[in-house]
Structure 1
Amino acid sequence: MIRTPLRPLARVLEARDNGDDPALIEAENKRLRHEAMRDKARLRAEGRLLVLGAMFFCAFMTIGIRMGALASSEPEEPRAAVAGNPIIGQRSDIVDRNGRILATNLETHSLYAHPQDMVDPEFAAAELAHIFPELDEEKLLANFTGDRKFLWIRKQISPEQLQAVHDIGSPGLLFGPREMRLYPNGPIAAHILGGASYGREGVASAEVIGVAGVERFFDAYLRDPANEGAPLELSIDLTVQAASEQVLAGGMSIMNAKGATSVLMNIDTGEIISMVSLPDFDPNNRPPVLTTGDQSDSPLFNRAVQGVYELGSVFKIFTIAQAMDLNLVNPETLIDTTGPLTWGRFKIRDFRNYGPELTTTDIIVKSSNVGTARIANMIGADRQREFLNSLGFLEPTTVEMVEAPTGKPLLPRNWSEISTMTISYGHGLSSSPLHLAAGYASLLNGGTRVQPTLLRQDTVQTGDRVVREAVSTRSRDMLRQVVERGTASFGEVAGYKVGGKTGTADKPRERGGGYYDDKVIATFASVFPADDPQYVLIVTLDEPVESSGDEPRRTAGWTAVPVAAEMIRRVAPLLGMRPEVETLEPIGVTLTSN
């Protein structure tokens, strides 16, 4: 910037020539410069005031327009904007493999009392006893007129009951919010779900916790807010589960059994499609645990997981399959079946006299104890134990239930030669029906280990190999022949090639040792379709008696097999399996040559 000097030389010289005072030139120039600066500052201030005035005008116009819009609009409740997802506090739902609700939550209320606030305790006690018949009027009145300051009356009440209590009009009767666990299907899948109850409780809220089944096993997951309410998806199919329970209940009644269980499992994924234990219960009103007597008589007892039984001849296929895998026998190998087979003071007999020898296949078809025991002797105790361990028969199952560890197999203290022989045909080792289902699936799916699971799976399990694939194929063929011409002839289902093995085991006495003569565990372990297996079905009846004939019949072929056949007939279409229709030869005149 070029600045003008206050005392320019030319003007100073000119002033001196004219006799003027040069200092006046500097004073004049200062005055002019200050006036110019003042004018410039005034213009700048006027511009700023104009901009600020425009901004205030716009702000007031905006506020005025917004106030006019609010005044002319319908009134609404204010809503708070929240960043991110809300925290889900309630327990997650449980659904089946198709997303159908098995367990959910219902908002309800609790009822409690402050006796000191009651105006007419006698009237309140009488009315409450009328609304809730299970309450004792005299006991209520004693509590209302005593020294108690707080009293729970009901932990859960229905909306109708809430209104009825409200109509009493007593200021000492109060309501608290509650979230209850609801099982809309009642007793269907009761043992799988288990049930829920209240943990920590207060008048304003209560903690819902699982007490059994998957509700207890997945309790942390179901209560975790980080899941944002995502449901727990199980492997079971609600429709198949309901049909299985209906058929099994009918079979249990017809066969006069004291209990029954069934397990339907996918042979490749290990998914449990249905699992039934009878008698059952309603998890909405879970019964108390038995304090006396046999716990296995309680409806809470899960026979499929907790019940360990000697399952009988269904084990024979494991012995034959291991012998074939070790190249000790093939399906046509002749085995000595002369009986009885004596070992010390023990004698092993067959149900009938099958002659001096049978092929390996016919030992399965006719269910020869003697033949199976002799093959087990070829295998030996160590190899038998190792093979059964590879199938999971020596440890509890890993299914996702808190009851699973209690279903520990009962093994012989000394795995001797006689133990080897009796275990080969299902005596001397007790396991659960779920163990048996997993064992059959592992043997018949191509020979790879399968772990049972209650969670939906999208992929096939790839477990350790237990037998060669060729042995698995031969085993399936043998089981198919058991249905076609053996002890499970009642297991044939039109359109579905069923294979399976029967097992009838005498029940051991609770005291004194030995076995009952008239009490058995009847089991049918089946696979369908036998030529391309997809599912394994285990049906077990406790103390069945088929009494339509002149003499009572207790064997599995007469009791468990017909029930399993009816179950397959009912559930196979629900599983999307089309029956195979056999094509007939053409009938009538046909042209054979010109």
Structure 2
Amino acid sequence: MSPRAPLRPLARILDARARGENPDAIEAANIRDRNAAMHDKSRARAESRLLLLVMAFCAAFLTIGIRMAALAGAEPDEPRAIVSGSRIQAQRADIVDRNGNVLATNLVTHALYSHPRDMVDPERAARELARIFPDMDEDRLLKQFTGKSAFLWLRRKLSPEQMQAVHDIGEPGLLFGPREMRLYPNGKLAAHVLGGASFGAEGVHSAEVIGVAGIEKALDDRLRSPDQLDQPLRLSLDLSVQAAIAEVLHTGMKLLNARGAASILMDAQTGEVLAMVSLPDFDPNDRPLPPTAGDPADSPIFNRALQGVYELGSVMKIFPVAQALELGLMNPDTMVNSSSPMQLGRFRVRDYRNYGPQLSVTDVIVKSSNVGTARVAAQVGPVRQQAFLKELGLLDASPVELIEAARARPLLPRKWSDIAAATISYGHGMSTSPMQLAAAYAAMVNGGYKVTPTLIKREAPPPRGAPVISERTSAQLRDMLRKVVEKGTARMAEVPGYHIGGKTGTADKQKPTGGYHKDKVMANFAGAFPMNDPRYVIVVSLDEPVETSGTEARRTAGWTAVPVTAEILRRVAPLLGLRPAEVEAHVPSKVTAVRN
């Protein structure tokens, strides 16, 4: 500690007196020096305090500025998302067809929401939003913006044009949240297969995309699985074939004034579905709401190919004949009593026209005799008939990978009596779907083994299904189905070079209240091609068709479903890589003579 300086410099004063100088001047100078030193010390202390204050202020200002910048650059959370605290899984794997063409994918878009408390001009915001979105009500928006809500969802997804228009309003209380939405780039094509998707749990940062119908819902877990997001789900559909069938079927439905239509093209060996069309259809990008009243079939979201459970008529006749041949009860040339009408208890079975007293088993199919088929079914018996149809999958829901399949169960008689067996043999008294019919026909023509319909592309040939009939019986059935086209009820299905075979079916349409309509039918055709070595099965179904080119209205399948099938075959056979047999017969051999 330094010694304290004396208040008066006595030595200097005494020395000054000795020399005769004025000591008061020395004391005054000492006082000035002391005051200056005290002033400098006080100033230095004040400057230090001021510097500390400035530094503290700058640190606080910098901290607040950094925090404000961070908040401004981040999207605020919706209150519900904050409470849940869970991370939303927004991604979803693509869906492609068998050739890799995209059927469904995700697209980055934005949602629109608002913080009403941050709005500068809520009246203008409500007015401009009502102008951009005609479905929004200006008065309702203004009431919401001036209410007590701190957060409002305004739009789940926006187009780029809509987003720009909202941005141009310049309202700080209108905010955008990024998200992914499901996009179906082909519009209505394969709509009933894909089904559609929508938003599940959502926040302003992202939204969960979940399947709501079709394969999107049936395989939702697979499409959302984090370890398979980069692996597209490959379907068995062929987009070009699907488009061709949809176009032909739509044209046929309009020309024939049909209420609806459906078609399935299936690989006869593997059960893969290459095309499944149901009309009317819809755009899965804007999926309609399910109907709350009326006939479900009136809704475009109703899948006629799978959910449509109908009495299919004479296309069912092939099954009792197949069973009779397999059991050895008959052969293709066995003569069957075809006298019409056939008395069955208190009921009578009649044919469309009189075919005489007898028909061969082959002609029962070619001419489509109800009486002849009922006689064959009587030989088989109801117990064996029921077991055979069950083995073919016609009595159970289809196992195809669509969420709607489990609920589309066939309608069966309460008691499988002799009368029920007779009517079921020619397609009445039992209702099933075109999908199940296609799979059953595949077993009839592919050598006799059961196939399981699938919408997933098989990377390797599946193991052969259980045998339901022998190869010999299958060959006999192929011959009969070919004769139906050559000289029977499906002659208009003939397309030169492709050797299609099949069976027509015209069933009176049932009334919802019971009984049948007199002038409304379901017209069906089920067949396969090429019949010498069937690779594909095709089913075409028309709801209430009417052909009016002649003097009388014609509703039978031979005039309605069959010509549509022929046009489908002309369009899709080349797409499937099939060449007409006549052309192949003239292909030159690999050894060709040349002249030098």
The TM-score, its normalising length taken from structure 1, stands at 0.83
CA distance in 1, matches of 2:372, 2:417: 18
CA deviations on 1:216-266 (whole Å, 9 max, x unpaired) are: 011001111111421000000001001110000001001110000000000
CA distance in 2, matches of 1:386, 1:245: 35
SS in 1 for 2:582: coil
CA distance in 2, matches of 1:439, 1:188: 26
CA distance in 2, matches of 1:347, 1:248: 36
Verify the 8 A CA contact 2:96 2:104 in the aligned structure 1.
yes
CA distance in 1, matches of 2:160, 2:286: 18
Which residue number corresponds to residue 336 of structure 1? Answer: 337
Which residue number corresponds to residue 481 of structure 2? Answer: 479
Q: CA 1:403–1:388 in 2, change beyond 3 Å: closer, same or farther? A: same
Verify the 8 A CA contact 2:317 2:426 in the aligned structure 1.
yes
CA distance in 1, matches of 2:419, 2:209: 52
CA distance in 2, matches of 1:442, 1:329: 20
Which residue number corresponds to residue 168 of structure 1? Answer: 169
Verify the 8 A CA contact 1:88 1:228 in the aligned structure 2.
no
CA distance in 2, matches of 1:367, 1:565: 20
Segments of 5+ residues of structure 2 without an aligned counterpart are 1-87, 587-596
CA distance in 2, matches of 1:424, 1:505: 13
Mapping 1:473-512, distance limit 5 Å = 473-511=475-513
Segments of 5+ residues of structure 1 without an aligned counterpart are 1-86, 585-594
Residue type matched to 1:269 in 2? T
Q: Does 1:293 align with 2:277?
A: no
Q: Does 1:117 align with 2:118?
A: yes
Residue type matched to 1:316 in 2? K
Residue type matched to 2:91 in 1? Q
Residue type matched to 2:292 in 1? T
Verify the 8 A CA contact 1:183 1:284 in the aligned structure 2.
yes
CA distance in 1, matches of 2:187, 2:291: 21
CA distance in 2, matches of 1:485, 1:460: 36
SS in 2 for 1:581: helix
CA distance in 2, matches of 1:460, 1:199: 36
Mapping 1:143-158, distance limit 5 Å = 143-158=144-159
CA deviations on 1:294-345 (whole Å, 9 max, x unpaired) are: 1111111001111100000001011111100001111111111011011122
The alpha carbon displacement at 1:114 in A equals 1.0
Which residue number corresponds to residue 140 of structure 1? Answer: 141
Segment of structure 1 superposing worse, 414-423 or 149-158? 149-158
Residue type matched to 1:496 in 2? Y
Residue type matched to 2:191 in 1? A
The alpha carbon displacement at 1:581 in A equals 1.2
Q: Does 1:187 align with 2:188?
A: yes
CA distance in 1, matches of 2:332, 2:579: 31
Which residue number corresponds to residue 202 of structure 2? Answer: 201
Which residue number corresponds to residue 13 of structure 1? Answer: none
Residue type matched to 1:504 in 2? T
Which residue number corresponds to residue 462 of structure 1? Answer: 464
Verify the 8 A CA contact 1:200 1:207 in the aligned structure 2.
yes
Length, aligned pairs only? 497
Write out the 4+ residue segments of structure 1 that deviate beyond 6 Å after TM superposition.
none
Segment of structure 1 superposing worse, 453-462 or 522-531? 453-462
Which residue number corresponds to residue 378 of structure 2? Answer: 377
CA distance in 2, matches of 1:550, 1:404: 42
Which residue number corresponds to residue 324 of structure 1? Answer: 325
Verify the 8 A CA contact 1:89 1:225 in the aligned structure 2.
no
Which residue number corresponds to residue 130 of structure 1? Answer: 131
Which residue number corresponds to residue 67 of structure 1? Answer: none
The alpha carbon displacement at 1:186 in A equals 0.2
The alpha carbon displacement at 1:147 in A equals 2.1
Residue type matched to 1:234 in 2? L
The TM-score, its normalising length taken from structure 2, stands at 0.82
Backbone CA RMSD of aligned residues: 1.2
Mapping 1:49-64, distance limit 5 Å = none
CA distance in 2, matches of 1:496, 1:339: 36
Verify the 8 A CA contact 1:261 1:304 in the aligned structure 2.
yes
CA distance in 1, matches of 2:523, 2:229: 46
Which residue number corresponds to residue 252 of structure 1? Answer: 253
Q: Does 1:177 align with 2:174?
A: no
Residue type matched to 1:354 in 2? Y
Residue type matched to 1:179 in 2? E
Q: CA 1:461–1:562 in 2, change beyond 3 Å: closer, same or farther? A: farther
CA distance in 1, matches of 2:229, 2:219: 15
Verify the 8 A CA contact 2:90 2:206 in the aligned structure 1.
no
The alpha carbon displacement at 1:284 in A equals 0.2
The alpha carbon displacement at 1:460 in A equals 4.1
Which residue number corresponds to residue 29 of structure 1? Answer: none
Q: CA 1:164–1:89 in 2, change beyond 3 Å: closer, same or farther? A: closer
Verify the 8 A CA contact 2:236 2:273 in the aligned structure 1.
yes
SS in 2 for 1:544: coil
Which residue number corresponds to residue 403 of structure 1? Answer: 404
Verify the 8 A CA contact 2:523 2:543 in the aligned structure 1.
yes
Which residue number corresponds to residue 9 of structure 1? Answer: none
Verify the 8 A CA contact 2:90 2:208 in the aligned structure 1.
no
Which residue number corresponds to residue 284 of structure 1? Answer: 285
CA distance in 1, matches of 2:345, 2:378: 15
Verify the 8 A CA contact 1:482 1:500 in the aligned structure 2.
yes
SS in 1 for 2:155: strand
CA distance in 1, matches of 2:564, 2:340: 32
CA deviations on 1:33-90 (whole Å, 9 max, x unpaired) are: xxxxxxxxxxxxxxxxxxxxxxxxxxxxxxxxxxxxxxxxxxxxxxxxxxxxxx9961
Residue type matched to 1:431 in 2? T
The alpha carbon displacement at 1:358 in A equals 0.5
CA deviations on 1:383-440 (whole Å, 9 max, x unpaired) are: 0011101100110010001000111011100000000100111111100000100000
CA distance in 1, matches of 2:310, 2:533: 29
CA distance in 2, matches of 1:348, 1:255: 29
Verify the 8 A CA contact 1:450 1:461 in the aligned structure 2.
no
Verify the 8 A CA contact 1:268 1:460 in the aligned structure 2.
no
Which residue number corresponds to residue 106 of structure 2? Answer: 105
